[in-house]
Structure 1
Amino acid sequence: MNAQSYDPGRTALMLGELRLPTIGRLWAQLAERADKEGWPAGRFLAALLEHELAERGKRRIERHRAESKLDPTKTLASFDFAEVPMLSKAHVMALASGDSWLEKGATILIFGPPGVGKSHVGCGIGHALIDAGYRVLYMRTSELVQRLQAARQSLQLPQTLAKLDRYDLLILDDLSYVRRDQAETSVLFELIAERYERRSILITANQPFSGWDHVFPDPGMTVAAIDRLVHHSTIFELNKVESYRGKQAARQQKIQRDNNKRQRQSSGDNDNHHQEPQP
């Protein structure tokens, strides 16, 4: 293409056909800068491609975060590790980088009573893994069981498990609330068996393993599920700690009370200031 036949509009159309929106948006600006500064053609091309790849990476992370169903407020940055002293921040941050434990399909198990931050830690790890380029899906365990049961009834369970296999990490929250007398929960065992040593699972539970006999249809399945989960696992026990959620609520209430007190004092001072002097 010579200088006379050069057509910016056609260039924009070709970039659109090639699905290069970032280059389409920036190329003219970068071309002007390259002309002024005398960039070699290779540098100009590399700059365009770097911008395109960076934007694609950003959009991919945004899509993965949206599909993950993670609570956007529950990140590791917003978790106060000082409130849960038995939880090693260094260990959690190491897991949040992903790498080897995800590659071997390892498991994270977080135990503790309600309100101590189990879900927050799990979601925080999930957010960090998305930032690192992994795909994560968060679901309440009871919701997932219902989804798998519906898939089995419609003869779609293998396809549903295959779709879940696209995620590097499944976060199953509140496993202890699943009850075998409410519905057939063997589908949960099938999920655990399907992902064993291939894809990772993070589970939060209010009860230790000894209380899981109400989750699966029979003791043998319970033992088999636990055996698979503890193999290649990291276990955090957040016991003997005051409710993390309760302490956060108490702090917010104190802040609100202090604010109300200051407002009342300010209002009283203003009333005294404007009060007419007595004769």
Structure 2
Amino acid sequence: MNVPVTDPARLSLMLGELRLPMITRLWPEFAERADKEGWPATRLLSALVEHELADRSRRRIERHRTESHLPLGKTLECFDFSMVPMLSKPHLQALAAGDAWLEKGANLLLFGPPGAGKSHAAAGLGHALIDAGYRVFFTRADELVQRLQLARQSLQLTSAINKLDRFDLLIVDDISYVRKDQAETSVLFELIAQRYEHRSILITANQPFSEWNSVFPDPAMTIAAIDRLVHHATVFELNVESYRRRTAQANAFERDNYVSPPDAQRQLSDNPFD
């Protein structure tokens, strides 16, 4: 029986039409190896599809990380949990799986003084959730309020809030720096109300709930916002001295007590310009 000859160029074009870039790149190498080693057709096809799926997952994660606006380098792996002992590493790693609490639209609230590591912990959790296949958006609270206010002015507030629904987790950093104005921060309440029991929010704050009257236009709105946020929420209180200040102090101590290695000391003593 005559076996039809496959045109490699045409096959690559067809794979390109099907948007299978990894298979398009790998199939000649894999096909040659399969011919030499006598692979069954199912093994060859399975190997190519596995690589395509892995590449597709990698590209999706890269795309989600870019759209998240998460600060680069702020991961859980580089977070010093010893500096914030009340923040449990196993607990945060469990939250990084995402499935249970994100599906319920539960929230996370991180309280603590400036420099306590709230933003880093929030960003680290965001990066881990993206690796787990979820979509995350990170924004400073004041920038979010400004964006939503502009949307309201152009009669696009509902659309703007709905667009945020595509993210499994919305991280709102530094809510305490927002100051109340009836025309502005009421949009923040509308966002919270829209996501209530629907999509998750992670909020970091320097101030306790008792001082949130400075954020929302009136006490009734403050109570309503807090009620929705805490109904299904995990609260972390990072009551520690500034993480940044302690790190700077530790670096300064190491610098002030640095002793040059013997080779360096010898080179300095041999310097003819001394």
**Structure 1 counterpart SS, 2:176:** helix
**Structure 2 counterpart of 1:223:** 223
Per-residue deviation, 1:73: 1.3
**Counterparts in 2 of 1:148 and 1:255: CA distance versus 1, 3 Å:** same
**Structure 1 counterpart of 2:33:** 33
**Structure 1 counterpart of 2:100:** 100
**Structure 2 counterpart of 1:262:** 260
Per-residue deviation, 1:257: 4.0
Moved more, 66-75 or 248-257: 248-257
Q: Are positions 1:75 and 2:75 aligned together?
A: yes
Per-residue deviation, 1:268: 5.7
> Is the 2:146–2:184 contact (alpha carbons within 8 Å) kept by the matching residues of 1?
no
Per-residue deviation, 1:271: 5.1
Give every structure 1 segment of 4 or more consecutive aligned residues whose post-TM-superposition deviation is greater than 6 Å.
none
Q: What are the superposed Cα offsets for residues 54-96 of structure 1, whole Å, 9 maximum, x if unpaired?
A: 0000000001011111111110000011111111111111111
Task: Specify the code of the residue in structure 2 equivalent to 1:270.
Answer: Q
**Structure 2 counterpart SS, 1:262:** coil
**Counterparts in 2 of 1:4 and 1:237: CA distance versus 1, 3 Å:** same
CA distance in 1 between counterparts of 2:254 and 2:119 reads 25
The size of the alignment, in residue pairs, is 271
**Counterparts in 2 of 1:11 and 1:249: CA distance versus 1, 3 Å:** same
Per-residue deviation, 1:243: 1.2
CA distance in 1 between counterparts of 2:124 and 2:238 reads 16
What is the correspondence of 1:68-147 to structure 2 with a 5 Å cutoff?
Answer: 68-147=68-147
* TM-score normalised according to structure 1 size: 0.92
Moved more, 222-231 or 36-45: 36-45
**Structure 2 counterpart of 1:188:** 188
CA distance in 1 between counterparts of 2:50 and 2:162 reads 34
**Counterparts in 2 of 1:182 and 1:223: CA distance versus 1, 3 Å:** closer
| Structure 2 residue ranges without an equivalent (≥5) | none
Moved more, 108-117 or 65-74: 65-74
**Structure 2 counterpart SS, 1:137:** strand
> Is the 2:181–2:216 contact (alpha carbons within 8 Å) kept by the matching residues of 1?
no
CA distance in 1 between counterparts of 2:88 and 2:56 reads 34
* TM-score normalised according to structure 2 size: 0.94
**Counterparts in 2 of 1:3 and 1:196: CA distance versus 1, 3 Å:** same
**Structure 1 counterpart SS, 2:33:** helix
What is the correspondence of 1:201-216 to structure 2 with a 5 Å cutoff?
Answer: 201-216=201-216
**Structure 2 counterpart SS, 1:54:** helix
- RMSD in angstroms over aligned alpha carbons? 1.8
Task: Specify the code of the residue in structure 1 equivalent to 2:266.
Answer: D
Identity %: 66
**Structure 1 counterpart of 2:233:** 233
CA distance in 1 between counterparts of 2:60 and 2:219 reads 43
Task: Specify the code of the residue in structure 2 equivalent to 1:190.
Answer: E
**Structure 2 counterpart SS, 1:172:** strand
**Counterparts in 2 of 1:32 and 1:112: CA distance versus 1, 3 Å:** same
**Counterparts in 2 of 1:223 and 1:267: CA distance versus 1, 3 Å:** same
CA distance in 1 between counterparts of 2:139 and 2:182 reads 18
**Structure 2 counterpart of 1:243:** 242
| Structure 1 residue ranges without an equivalent (≥5) | none
